[in-house]
A and B are shown apart, each in its own frame.
Chain A
Amino acid sequence: MNTVETKNEDSKTATETVAKTQISGSQAVLEALLAEGIETVFGYPGGAIMPIYDALYDYNDKLKHILVRHEQGGIHAAQGFARTSGKVGVVFATSGPGATNLITGLADAMIDSNPIVCITGQVFAHLLGTDAFQETDVINITTPVTKWNYQVTEASEIPEALAKAFYIARSGRPGPVLIDITKNAQVQLFDYLGYKPCSHIRSYRPKPIVRNKHIQEAADLINQAKKPLVLFGQGVILGKAEKEFKEFIEKSGIPAAWTVMGLSALETDHPQNVGMLGMHGNYAPNVLTNECDVLIAIGMRFDDRVTGRLDKYAKQAKIIHLDIDPAEIDKNVKTTVAVWGDCKETLPILTKLVDKKSHTDWLAHFRELEKEEVKEVIQEELNPSSDIMTMGEVVKVLNELTGGDAVIVTDVGQHQMVACRYAKFNQSKSNVTSGGLGTMGFGLPAAIGAWYGAPERPIVAIIGDGGFQMTLQELGTIMQFGAKVKILILNNEFLGMVRQWQQLFNDKRYSFVDITSPDFVTVAKGYHIDGQRISEREQLKDALKTMLDHPDSYLLEVMVGKENNVFPMVAQGSSVAEIRLK
């Protein structure tokens, strides 16, 4: 840049050429959002993004801006929004610290494939690389945690850059995109030719083409299988292929187990739903992973929390992997047949080719092992014999009251695993959790976003006493903008999940897992949010009912057993078949 545009110079040019539709870069940003159907933006202003906020002042009736209390809260809210709405979440942040505060959320969105567009302000283009005030090299910092990023230094680039950003964020395997816009580009006026959505980028092929030959091979394997097992992940939800998925399992009669990210893609009560995979998943699907003859993985990525020890994972089975992302095929588990493509397209073809079966005996085998898990773990967790409440019973009573219609948002830790194990889901997009990154502090802001994504649904945020203290400032966002979030704190007075590991693997050497908490109810009250704290079982049902029936947000703190553990558990370095029941 040789010249430095200032707002004044630009407005001069504007008055000279009134005939052309000249708009500022900032207006172009907001026009792009409107054209993309965005109604809600989560953000936080600052020097380098002030022109966009100035333009926002005039768009107040068309674009709802939610002022969060920390940029991390902003991006987690956008993630929650994306998860319940299936749409792109949008975040504004300023340069420097505003942008770096997004990093955790970007990493989280990247690993969990959330469609997010972040717009960050940046210093004037002529100051780039000079260590200007609040300058940080956002593009390079965010490269490993974005699906794509781009720095705009000229206003005229904005419509195209944003069109690409939205297209990339939502297409193929979704992911976070960041557009960094220098301040001069925000204030600069340019001839606006309208917004053209992007539908093709020559260097980017979001969906591999469907190869019928491989689907036929997959069908042949499935038709010969005696003990097939389906593993499904978030790909089913992201592909909006819940119906196609259900038709496939119902025709093939194959038992199906979900990953943490796949939760709610099928209803909990479906007769072929055999529960959750992985470290704290259910007993039957973990054990039988190493007994099935054909493993059909659909829209999941064989995370190490799912597979346990890889060299002892499903070695006996032929593996069929359906995924939209070619880089996932053979990444962790070698496939016998790879079905590349969008499962919304591949599943119906596969369903046509598979024989109608019921696999009754094989399914019964899951139910038998489930009985064992009920006896050893679930019974005591849901109907404890001691007076001290368990996390599991709280979730059980919650299920009874919501009937499975709530969106369950969680933070990270024991309560997350318990919620994922026991929460009941009747419909898709009902589970919002930080699966791949395991980000404590995700729960509260994500729940706020989840409400904006599905305001008609009850949003219950199940959070630990540790994680809640990481982002509790977002209570201020609730107070100011009125999201209706039911905050359910399961307080075990410990960083429970780490304590569990220290108990099991470090001889109970409890090293800094003993965390004290403020009076959460009083804190909430400070934000004009009602709440109560309970520690007796007799109060539980009424308290949960009060929380759910409350017209606004509500905080319920439930004191639960301090040293309860989450079981079953596949210890690190163990095979899934070696899952421990105690």
Chain B
Amino acid sequence: MTKQEYTLTIYTENKVGIIGRIVILFSRKKINIESISGSPSEVAGIFRFTILINESEEVVRKVCRQLEKQVDILKAYFNTNSEIVWQEQALFKVATEKVTEGADVERLARIYGARAVVIRNDYTVFETSGHTEDIDKLTEALANFGLIEFVRSGRIAIIKNSEGFHKKLKEFEREEPAPEVKENEFLDKQDKVFTM
């Protein structure tokens, strides 16, 4: 089974300790989490985690089922890169004298769409967002000018064909699920998605 990047989108109740329940499922199977980020979601009170891993589809599918089994997790989706719109954010701290020395740093910032968010006598902080490769390139280029600090966020992603979670939550909130509720869409596509 070939491994590739999968982005997991996990909707959860906003509970203390939920992140522990999530990461335990990965560490138990010795899966490395490339990045993780959590934030509120489109639905008030519901939290959304985005986790990036490099695994085979089979493993990802099993992890998602284990995730959904957790009482406080509502739903876990997994997507390949082509199915999502994704971004990472990065901050760079460069000595201000390097920025003012010539036009190079400013030119780089312009090329990569970075903007200065703080300018002080001693240092300047640039911010940019984009795909990993773009940020990597800028980081490499800025390294020539003495990068004092660098930090990059975990991936966040929007699922292209998702209608958001409002409707799903309504279904979950009903005591008796309506017959058309699909608790796991993969089941009905079993022949197409299961491989071994």
Given contacts A202-B173, A340-B187, contact A330 B194 (CB under 8 A): yes
Which residues of A are found within 8 Å of B190, using beta-carbon distances? Answer: 338
* A327/B12 in contact, CB under 8 A: no
The distance in angstroms between the C-alpha atoms of A50 and B133, with both chains bound, is 59
* A201/B71 in contact, CB under 8 A: yes
The distance in angstroms between the C-alpha atoms of A326 and B188, with both chains bound, is 13
Indicate whether B32 reaches chain A with its CB closer than 8 angstroms.
no
* B72/A203 in contact, CB under 8 A: yes
The distance in angstroms between the C-alpha atoms of A564 and B61, with both chains bound, is 45
A333 to chain B, nearest CB (A): 10
The distance in angstroms between the C-alpha atoms of A201 and B72, with both chains bound, is 9
Interface size class of chain B, counting residues whose CB lies under 8 Å from the partner chain: 20 to 34
Given contacts A144-B28, A211-B187, contact A168 B173 (CB under 8 A): no
Q: Contact partner of B183 among A143, A148, A151, A208, CB < 8 A? A: A208
A-contacting residues, B1-49, CB 8 Å: 12-13, 16-17, 20-21, 24, 28
Given contacts A143-B24, A327-B66, A330-B194, contact A203 B13 (CB under 8 A): yes
* A327/B17 in contact, CB under 8 A: no
Indicate whether A139 reaches chain B with its CB closer than 8 angstroms.
yes
Which residues of A are found within 8 Å of B71, using beta-carbon distances? Answer: 147-148, 168, 201, 203-204
Given contacts A202-B169, A203-B12, contact A209 B73 (CB under 8 A): no
* B65/A326 in contact, CB under 8 A: yes
* Residue interface bits B60-75, CB-to-A below 8 A is 1, else 0: 0110011011011110
Which residues of B are found within 8 Å of A148, using beta-carbon distances? Answer: 71-72
* B65/A139 in contact, CB under 8 A: no
Which residues of B are found within 8 Å of A338, using beta-carbon distances? Answer: 187, 190
Which residues of A are found within 8 Å of B183, using beta-carbon distances? Answer: 205, 208-209, 326
Indicate whether A226 reaches chain B with its CB closer than 8 angstroms.
no
Q: Contact partner of A209 among B21, B68, B177, B194, CB < 8 A? A: B177
A25 to chain B, nearest CB (A): 19
Given contacts A202-B74, A334-B196, contact A327 B62 (CB under 8 A): yes
Indicate whether A20 reaches chain B with its CB closer than 8 angstroms.
no
Given contacts A326-B68, A331-B62, contact A143 B173 (CB under 8 A): no
A162 to chain B, nearest CB (A): 15
Indicate whether A325 reaches chain B with its CB closer than 8 angstroms.
yes
* Residue interface bits A163-181, CB-to-B below 8 A is 1, else 0: 0000010000000000000
Q: Contact partner of B194 among A144, A203, A205, A334, CB < 8 A? A: A334
* A143/B68 in contact, CB under 8 A: no
A167 to chain B, nearest CB (A): 10
Indicate whether A199 reaches chain B with its CB closer than 8 angstroms.
yes
The distance in angstroms between the C-alpha atoms of A201 and B73, with both chains bound, is 11
Residue of B nearest to A330 (CB): B194
Which residues of A are found within 8 Å of B187, using beta-carbon distances? Answer: 211, 214, 326, 338, 340
Indicate whether B172 reaches chain A with its CB closer than 8 angstroms.
yes
* A140/B20 in contact, CB under 8 A: yes
Residue of B nearest to A333 (CB): B196
A303 to chain B, nearest CB (A): 16
The distance in angstroms between the C-alpha atoms of A370 and B194, with both chains bound, is 37
B154 to chain A, nearest CB (A): 22
Indicate whether A7 reaches chain B with its CB closer than 8 angstroms.
no
Q: Contact partner of A205 among B65, B172, B188, B196, CB < 8 A? A: B172
The distance in angstroms between the C-alpha atoms of A338 and B21, with both chains bound, is 27
* A209/B181 in contact, CB under 8 A: yes
Indicate whether B163 reaches chain A with its CB closer than 8 angstroms.
no
The distance in angstroms between the C-alpha atoms of A211 and B185, with both chains bound, is 12
Indicate whether B102 reaches chain A with its CB closer than 8 angstroms.
no
The distance in angstroms between the C-alpha atoms of A202 and B181, with both chains bound, is 14
* A327/B28 in contact, CB under 8 A: no
Which residues of A are found within 8 Å of B28, using beta-carbon distances? Answer: 144
* Residue interface bits B161-186, CB-to-A below 8 A is 1, else 0: 00000000100110101010101100
A61 to chain B, nearest CB (A): 34
The distance in angstroms between the C-alpha atoms of A327 and B194, with both chains bound, is 14
Indicate whether A509 reaches chain B with its CB closer than 8 angstroms.
no
The distance in angstroms between the C-alpha atoms of A498 and B28, with both chains bound, is 27
Which residues of A are found within 8 Å of B194, using beta-carbon distances? Answer: 330, 334
Residue of B nearest to A148 (CB): B71
Residues of chain B touching chain A, judged by Cβ–Cβ distance below 8 Å, are: 12-13, 16-17, 20-21, 24, 28, 61-62, 65-66, 68-69, 71-74, 169, 172-173, 175, 177, 179, 181, 183-184, 187-188, 190, 194, 196
Residues of chain A touching chain B, judged by Cβ–Cβ distance below 8 Å, are: 139-140, 143-144, 147-148, 151, 168, 199-205, 208-209, 211, 214, 325-327, 329-331, 334, 338, 340
A143-B24, A203-B73 given. 17 additional CB < 8 A pairs?
A: A143-B17, A144-B28, A148-B72, A201-B71, A202-B169, A203-B13, A203-B172, A205-B183, A208-B183, A209-B179, A209-B181, A326-B65, A327-B62, A327-B68, A330-B194, A331-B65, A338-B187
Q: 8 A–B contact pairs at CB < 8 A?
A: A140-B17, A202-B169, A203-B13, A205-B177, A208-B184, A211-B188, A331-B62, A334-B194
The 9 closest A-B pairs by CB, nearest first: A327-B65, A148-B71, A203-B74, A204-B71, A202-B172, A200-B175, A202-B173, A334-B196, A327-B69
